[in-house]
Copies of this chain bind each other. A is one copy, B any other.
Amino acid sequence: MSLTYALLTALAEQSATGYELNQRFKERLANIWQASHQQIYKELAKLLDRGWLNVETIQQPDRPDKKVYEITPIGLEALKQWLNEPQSLFVEKNPLLIKFFAGQYLDLELFKQEVQQVRLNLAQKLQSFSVIQQLYFQELSTLSSHYQWQYLALRYGMMSLEASLKWLDEVEHQLKQLDLT
């Protein structure tokens, strides 16, 4: 459901091919929604069928043909309607946390390594977000409101990563305690 509107939003900003959308989702939108290229192509076909998108096929001499999608007026209407419906901030899916309910069965050494790895991944992501912040959102007040909105989405990503890292500190502290007992 939400992927539909994530795509419409992306296309309302700028027409694009499935390939380009996939890249945007991997980069700037990684924060918000995960989607594979297969899912994106399938969804684009569906939206085209429904008349929410138009497509223009562009021949390229030395590259495969590409299909540029643009949002139609009725697509935009559908998006606007969705925007007025309340949405939840996040969906609870925390696979790692399941392990904390099976603590007694965990291999502690392996788990410590996993926690270390998770920390590295999160720290790296946070790092890349703060690079984006530096690059694009330095002079916030001079930016159009369009980018000020996007900045807030980035802030959510950063703040939730910071919270996760702080939590990992507690986890590691606790793991050390367990070692002593």
Contact = CB atoms under 8 A, between A and B. Distances in A.
A159 B110 CA distance: 25
A145 B101 CA distance: 11
B92 A153 contact: no
Main secondary structure on A side of the interface with B = helix
B146 A103 contact: yes
Nearest to A164: B89
Contacts of A83: 99, 102, 105-107
28 contacts: A9-B98, A12-B102, A31-B97, A34-B93, A79-B102, A79-B105, A83-B105, A84-B110, A87-B95, A89-B94, A89-B95, A89-B164, A91-B94, A93-B93, A100-B149, A101-B150, A103-B145, A103-B146, A104-B145, A148-B174, A148-B177, A156-B164, A159-B163, A159-B164, A159-B166, A160-B163, A160-B164, A163-B163
Interface of A: 2, 5-6, 9-10, 12-13, 29-34, 76, 79-80, 83-84, 86-107, 110, 114, 117-118, 122, 145-146, 148-150, 152-153, 155-156, 159-160, 162-164, 166-167, 170-171, 174, 177-178, 181
